Amino acid sequence: MPYGPPTACRQSSAARSSGQAASEATGAWEFPCEWHPTTVPNPADPGQPFTPAGAWEFIADLLDNPVQDVETITLDEPSGKIAFVMTCPLPDGGTLYIKVHFGHGPTILGRSFHYSDY
């Protein structure tokens, strides 16, 4: 495995937050993607949804939290790529599902940011 499970993602998140790396939602890319931050309420701003930038800030904060569980999975698309998955309870009782993976270099690609279906 080229990246140590969540440690590399946490370190890359810290670099991203300080402007040393890029992050983006895959959106129209060829990979499956459910990136919907504007449909999820932002716990830091009651009554308001996340903005795209706010979603990345939230992900960075979760990754900076040493007690946040981060699961590693192997993706089907792109085949064999390692992704990092987190869930987080929301104030409305729902659960937020987040999945990210490394692109080329330090870029972190957002694949999922939505209410959990599970």
**Mind listing the domains of the chain with CATH numbers?**
5-115 (3.30.2310)
Q: In the chain, what percentage of residues exceed pLDDT 90? A: 50
Q: What is the pLDDT of residue 108?
A: 86
Three-state DSSP at 54 gives helix
The residues near 3 (Cβ < 8 Å, ≥ 6 apart) are: 9, 82, 102
Q: What is the pLDDT of residues 7-63, one digit of tens each?
A: 555 555 554 544 444 455 544 456 788 999 999 999 998 889 999 999 999 999 998
Q: What is the pLDDT of residues 61-84, one digit of tens each?
A: 998 899 999 999 999 988 999 999
Crossing angle, helix 52-64 and helix 5-17, to 10 degrees?
130
Looking at per-residue confidence, does 85 or 5 come out higher?
Answer: 85
Three-state DSSP at 56 gives helix
Query: Do strands 82-89 and 34-35 pair parallel, antiparallel, or not at all (unpaired)?
Result: unpaired
- Residue 2's pLDDT band, with cuts at 50, 70 and 90, is very low
Q: What is the pLDDT of residue 70?
A: 94
Q: What is the pLDDT of residue 13?
A: 54
35 and 111 Cβ atoms separated by less than 8 Å = yes
The Cα 6–Cα 17 span in angstroms is 16
Angle 18-22-23 from CA coordinates, rounded to 5°: 110
User: Which range (56-60, 90-94, 95-99) has the least confidence?
Assistant: 90-94
Average pLDDT of the chain? 80
**pTM for this prediction:** 0.77
